[in-house]
Amino acid sequence: MEHLRIPGPTPCPNEVLQAMTRQMINHRGAEFGQILNEVTAKLKQLFQTNGDVFLLTGSGTGGLEAAIVNTLSPGDKVLSVSIGVFGERFATIAERFGADVIPLRFEWGKAADVDAVRRALQAEPKIKAVLVTHNETSTGVTNDLASISSVVKELDKLLLVDAISSLGSINLPVDDWHCDVTITGSQKGWMIPPGLAMVSISQEAWQAQASARMPRFYWDFAQAKSYLEKAPTQTPWTPAISTIFALSVSLEMMLREGLTNIIARHARVGKAARDGIKSLGLSLFAEESHASNTVTAVAASDGLDINKMRQILREEHQVVLAGGQQTLAGKIFRIGHLGWVTEGDIEAVISALRVVLPQAGFRR
């Protein structure tokens, strides 16, 4: 079997794949309603929220768009806290829908500086919402969301969180950290294929929703809520039924393992990846104090041809790693370690790298 070690899509356990072979059922019938209810309740546990959680059929980016169009109006001032490619994407979506985006960018590889966030919010009291990426998949950095949240809430702003590659793998207590909209994607730590965005919505977000005037139809949270309250429970539009079957099985597996254990496993796996990379004489791209437990970004060293390295890994060792995105192409490579992953899986990657690095020009 191929070792798929990119930061999503991630490998799926056999039970999950099996669940997807089921025949279709009526998405407006009682059986589906029961599955949707159960899955939603389990997701709330893993989001650590008592607020609303919706399953949206689409990829994570759709969830980011949903967060914006449901809470903002054209012209609203928004602070974009960006530490990489996905922070920029969140800001671009807000801009396209007419928000007045104030960018606060940090060097790629570093986490956001909380004092700088405070200063930016104090400098522009009309800011309504803050966009932040919890775990920046493009650089392998996890922001200190608890601290960012305490500043955002002290200054009474909405907090919209891209947690696509963190939720369900890295601790993110949505209610305790006062996240107003939190978005994750099925193909990440949830061990199921792409096709679903999962979002939580706070009371404050609902208040914002009532007056938000950005255009929305497919992503309208009010529609999602009204259909979730129907009998039988439904989604407004035809959902990705097979992916929801898969999610039903993966959530059972996750709750059996327990969130605390899942978070601890990701911490161990993340450390194994970082230690392994350093043992090879390579350097981490991310500042280590904020290095992610779901994706490790590795800086290219002199002589190392990353494309050649990835090709040999793929063809001769069945190990698939990710490259760098945008300006980081050719400068870093990334190891995804979220979802269905153990320390043994990372050891296999490090062992393969040990063989391949010299073949791809790396000299210690």
Nearest residue to ligand PLP, scored by beta-carbon proximity: 60
Span 126-145, contacts to ligand PLP by CB under 6 A: 133, 137
Q: Based on CB atoms, which residue is closest to ligand PLP, 51 or 185? A: 185
How many chain residues are in contact with ligand PLP, going by CB under 6 A?
A: 11
Q: Based on CB atoms, which residue is closest to ligand PLP, 94 or 352? A: 94
Across the beta sheet with 196-201, what order do the strands follow? Answer: 52-57, 196-201, 181-185, 158-162, 127-133, 77-82, 100-105
User: Under the criterion CB under 6 A, does residue 106 sit at the interface with ligand PLP?
Assistant: no
Helix (H, G, I), strand (E, B) or coil at 43: helix
Contact call for residues 189 and 196 (beta carbons, < 8 A)? no
Name the minimum Å distance from CB 85 to ligand PLP: 8
- Sole window of 21-29, 162-170, 337-345, 355-363 interacting with ligand PLP (rule: CB under 6 A): 162-170
- Sole window of 149-157, 160-168, 229-237, 275-283 interacting with ligand PLP (rule: CB under 6 A): 160-168
Task: Print burial letters for 221-246: b (CB count within 10 Å at least 16), e (below 16).
Answer: bebbeebbeeeebbbbeebbbbbbbb
Q: Based on CB atoms, which residue is closest to ligand PLP, 86 or 177? A: 86
Q: Is the dihedral of CA 52, 53, 59, 61 positive or negative?
A: positive
Pick the closest to residue 339 from 269, 238, 240, 243 (CA basis).
269
Q: Are strands 52-57 and 3-5 parallel, antiparallel or unpaired?
A: unpaired
The residue within the footprint of ligand PLP, chosen from 165, 209, 235, 292 (CB under 6 A), is 165
The Cα–Cα gap between 116 and 227 comes to: 41
- Sole window of 22-30, 119-127, 158-166, 330-338 interacting with ligand PLP (rule: CB under 6 A): 158-166
Strand boundaries in the chain, DSSP class E: 3-5, 52-57, 77-82, 100-105, 127-133, 135-136, 141-142, 158-162, 181-185, 196-201, 283-284, 295-299, 319-323, 332-336
Contact call for residues 99 and 74 (beta carbons, < 8 A)? yes
Secondary structure of 69-83 in HEC code, one letter for each residue: HHHCCCCCEEEEEEC
Name the minimum Å distance from CB 286 to ligand PLP: 14
Name the minimum Å distance from CB 90 to ligand PLP: 7
User: Under the criterion CB under 6 A, does residue 86 sit at the interface with ligand PLP?
Assistant: yes
String of contacts with ligand PLP for each residue 291-310, x by CB under 6 A: --------------------
User: Under the criterion CB under 6 A, does residue 339 sit at the interface with ligand PLP?
Assistant: no
Name the minimum Å distance from CB 183 to ligand PLP: 8
Span 245-284, contacts to ligand PLP by CB under 6 A: none
Cβ within 8 Å of residue 58, ≥6 positions away:
195, 196, 197, 218
In eight-state DSSP terms, residue 21 is T
Q: Based on CB atoms, which residue is closest to ligand PLP, 60 or 109? A: 60
Q: Is the dihedral of CA 351, 355, 360, 364 positive or negative?
A: positive
Strand partners, 333: 298, 323
The residue within the footprint of ligand PLP, chosen from 51, 185, 189, 193 (CB under 6 A), is 185
The residue within the footprint of ligand PLP, chosen from 60, 189, 195, 239 (CB under 6 A), is 60
- Sole window of 53-61, 167-175, 251-259, 302-310 interacting with ligand PLP (rule: CB under 6 A): 53-61
Contact call for residues 91 and 80 (beta carbons, < 8 A)? yes
Name the minimum Å distance from CB 222 to ligand PLP: 23
User: Under the criterion CB under 6 A, does residue 65 sit at the interface with ligand PLP?
Assistant: no
Amino acid (one-letter) located at 362: F
User: Under the criterion CB under 6 A, does residue 164 sit at the interface with ligand PLP?
Assistant: yes
- Residues near ligand PLP (CB under 6 A) are 8, 59-61, 86, 133, 137, 162, 164-165, 185
